[in-house]
Amino acid sequence: MAISEVVGSRGAALRRIVDSRGVPVVHRSSRELAAMAMVDDGSAVDADDEWLAVQRAVHALLAREWPAVLVPVSEVSLGTPGFADRLDDLADHHALRPACIWVKATSSGALLAAPETTEQLARGHLVGVRLDVAHGFRDRALLPDLAALGVSFAWIDPPDGHTVVDDLSGLIVGRSLVRRAQALGMAVIAPAELDGDMVPPTTQ
């Protein structure tokens, strides 16, 4: 399920994915494509709340006949026993084809704290990870472990909630993250300024 695709700023990146793959993005608060650039890590601390968001996203997918949907999931859900089973059951119940659900984890730690869940999710869905340039060195070191668990896309955010990567060290770290993720066969969704000097993606 690895995808080799490098895209620009978050909004443009998602639009390009939508254009090329017909993949819309749904966030539990926005649910609309127009707000996809605002997709960010959830602050929910309740597994039920996150599960409702997943269900809502899937229902939106079905209602609009979208081919896939992206849902942010935090360590709360990933640490809940049976979360992957519930997601599989939901996909089976609606006869969704594999890779219909893109699961974006809020951090690398959230996935690595629940390796069995991550592996199970990756078998039936696309699993990605949100990476923050502010902690890029740490996340870059963890990317091989994430890839080994089946994580197939990297969602790279500018440091600490900024909208752009506007300093040299951030650019260096961010581009390094992009290259490492690419080398591991992950799709990369990153701010446009990290596009420069990238290694062309390899086709799988």
- Separation of CA 42 from chain center: 12
Query: Is residue 67 a contact residue for other proteins (CB under 8 A)?
Result: no
- Of the candidate spans 21-29, 61-69, 97-105, 130-138, the one that interacts with other proteins by CB under 8 A turns out to be 130-138
Residue 93 CB, shortest distance to other proteins, in Å, is: 27
Residue 101, CA atoms < 13 Å, CB-side half-sphere = 30
Q: Which of 116, 106, 113, 102 is nearest to 186 (CA)?
A: 102
Of 5 and 75, CB closest to other proteins: 75
Query: Is residue 146 a contact residue for other proteins (CB under 8 A)?
Result: no
Query: Is residue 159 a contact residue for other proteins (CB under 8 A)?
Result: yes
Which one of residues 25, 69, 129, 134 is an interface residue with other proteins (CB under 8 A)? Answer: 134
Complete DSSP assignment for 103-165: EEES-HHHHHTSHHHHHHHHHHSEEEEEEEGGGHHHHHHHHHHHHHTT--EEEEE-GGG-SS-
Are 103 and 125 spatial neighbours (Cβ–Cβ below 8 Å)?
A: yes
Using CB under 8 A as the binding rule, the residues of this chain from 177 to 196 that contact other proteins are none
Structure-block tokens of residue 86: 């519930």
Which one of residues 5, 49, 75, 195 is an interface residue with other proteins (CB under 8 A)? Answer: 75
Of 62 and 113, CB closest to other proteins: 113
Which one of residues 8, 11, 67, 115 is an interface residue with other proteins (CB under 8 A)? Answer: 115
Burial class (CB in 10 A: 0-12, 13-18, 19+), 151: buried
Amino acid at 171: L
- Of the candidate spans 11-19, 26-34, 71-79, 185-193, the one that interacts with other proteins by CB under 8 A turns out to be 71-79
- Of the candidate spans 8-16, 30-38, 60-68, 73-81, the one that interacts with other proteins by CB under 8 A turns out to be 73-81
Per rule CB under 8 A, count of chain residues that contact other proteins: 29
Are 51 and 74 spatial neighbours (Cβ–Cβ below 8 Å)?
A: no
d(CA 184, CA 10): 21
Of 35 and 113, CB closest to other proteins: 113
Site residues for other proteins per CB under 8 A: 45, 74-76, 79, 106-110, 112-115, 134-139, 141-142, 144-145, 159-160, 169-170, 173
